[in-house]
């Protein structure tokens, strides 16, 4: 197997998926969101990350969302924006099928979540075997998704991820654990030409870059893609002090968004401040009341975003 190439460095966003009142796809709002993200300067869009409610969708819906995202980008002059698909399933067999579906629907990479239904059975040997078997079968390169919150507390060590990084078809990782030590260990151990290490939260975007990360794959660019692209530009230009000021805004806003309930909070904020989409999530999730929520620092970031 010829070694695959990792995704380019930059800002990636696990896009939320908009629904109508009947919890069916709100296609115009999904397209409006994809275009605002692309126009805001993101490098890529992750479809069916945790923020995309992947576990709440059928296989057909997952394929349809990937295809809709890729087509919307291509038809509006953004063929260079990368599409990554979340393909985590609870069995190796299902995950392989989701990877094949993602490739067929137009994704360039798969982001694979470790199964978390039986945590005591997920020994290091089983985790390594799962990701290697999926990568062997996947028609497009895979990435390791480490998010203990949604995998019953399973937190892959840098040792395990380093071993997986040696596979020719495994090309990166999203570390939603937010562990900067882990980011630094991996970024300094595996060449960036072979393996891209991304923190999965905006509150450590700049800290990750300083540690050698490939950028960020975070929820907050759903609200403020331009602010993230600007921080990345400033860092690359060596303007660390200016980048640090933006990072402070991102850190406060990321924390407020988490307290809002993340997915429902993102949709509610986008609906209120950017004028498209309804704050509908599939149960058992819920959306916050934006009129009573404490969102001062989030509003500060939104004002900055709109000024860019």
Q: Could you state, in order of their start, the residue ranges of all structural domains in the chain?
A: 10-225
Going by the annotation, the residues of the binding site are 217
Going by the annotation, the residues of the binding site for pyruvate are 217
Catalytic residue list contains 239: no
Averaged pLDDT for residues 138-156:
92
* Catalytic residue chosen out of the listed positions 12, 109, 145, 235: 145
pTM above 0.75, yes or no: yes
* Cross-sheet strand order for the sheet of 44-47: 196-199, 170-175, 142-146, 109-113, 82-86, 44-47, 10-14, 215-217
pLDDT band at 145 (very low <50, low <70, confident <90, very high): very high
Averaged pLDDT for residues 283-287:
89
pLDDT band at 113 (very low <50, low <70, confident <90, very high): very high
Averaged pLDDT for residues 15-30:
97
111: helix, coil or strand? strand
Averaged pLDDT for residues 117-123:
89
Residue 270 Cα to chain centre, angstroms: 17
How many CA atoms does the CB half-sphere of 72 hold within 13 Å? 22
| Backbone angles phi and psi of 9, in degrees to 5 | -70, 155
Say how many Å lie between the first and final Cα of the chain, rounded: 44
* Partners of 283 in the β-ladder: none
* Position 295 pLDDT exceeds 90: no
* Catalytic residue chosen out of the listed positions 12, 63, 96, 174: 174
Catalytic residue list contains 174: yes
**CATH number for the segment(s) 10-225:** 3.20.20.70
Using one digit for the tens of pLDDT, what is the confidence trace for 53-102?
998 999 999 999 999 999 999 999 999 999 999 999 999 999 999 999 99
- Alpha-carbon distance 218 to 254, whole Å? 9
* Partners of 199 in the β-ladder: 175
- Residues with Cβ < 8 Å from 169, sequence gap 6 or more? 1, 3, 4, 135, 136, 138, 141, 142
């Amino acid at each position: 197997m010829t070694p695959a190439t990792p995704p380019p460095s930059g800002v990636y966003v696990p896009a939320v998926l908009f629904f109508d009142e009947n919890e069916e796809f709100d296609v115009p709002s999904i397209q409006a969101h994809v275009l605002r993200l692309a126009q805001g300067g993101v490098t890529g869009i992750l479809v069916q990350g945790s923020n995309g409610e992947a576990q709440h969708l059928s296989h057909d819906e997952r394929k349809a969302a990937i295809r809709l995202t890729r087509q919307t980008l291509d038809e509006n002059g953004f063929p260079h924006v990368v599409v990554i698909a979340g393909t985590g399933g609870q069995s190796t067999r299902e995950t392989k099928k989701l990877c094949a579906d993602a490739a067929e629907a137009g994704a360039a990479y798969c982001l694979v979540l470790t199964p978390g239904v039986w945590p005591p059975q997920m020994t290091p040997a089983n985790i390594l075997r799962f990701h290697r078997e999926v990568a062997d079968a996947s028609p497009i390169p895979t990435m390791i998704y480490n998010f203990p919150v949604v995998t019953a507390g399973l937190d892959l060590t840098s040792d395990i991820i380093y071993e997986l990084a040696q596979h020719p078809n495994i090309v990166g990782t999203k570390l939603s654990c937010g562990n900067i030590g882990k980011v630094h260990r991996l970024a300094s151990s595996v060449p960036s030409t072979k393996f891209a290490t991304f923190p999965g939260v905006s509150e450590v975007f700049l800290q990750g870059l300083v540690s050698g990360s490939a950028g960020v794959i975070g929820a907050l660019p759903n609200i403020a893609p331009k602010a993230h692209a600007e921080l990345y530009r400033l860092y690359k230009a060596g303007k660390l002090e200016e980048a640090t000021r933006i990072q402070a805004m991102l850190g406060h806003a990321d924390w407020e968004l988490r307290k809002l309930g993340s997915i429902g909070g993102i949709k509610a904020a986008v609906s209120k401040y950017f004028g498209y989409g309804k704050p509908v999530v599939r149960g058992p999730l819920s959306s916050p009341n934006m009129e009573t929520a404490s969102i001062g620092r989030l509003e500060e970031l939104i004002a900055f975003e709109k000024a860019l």
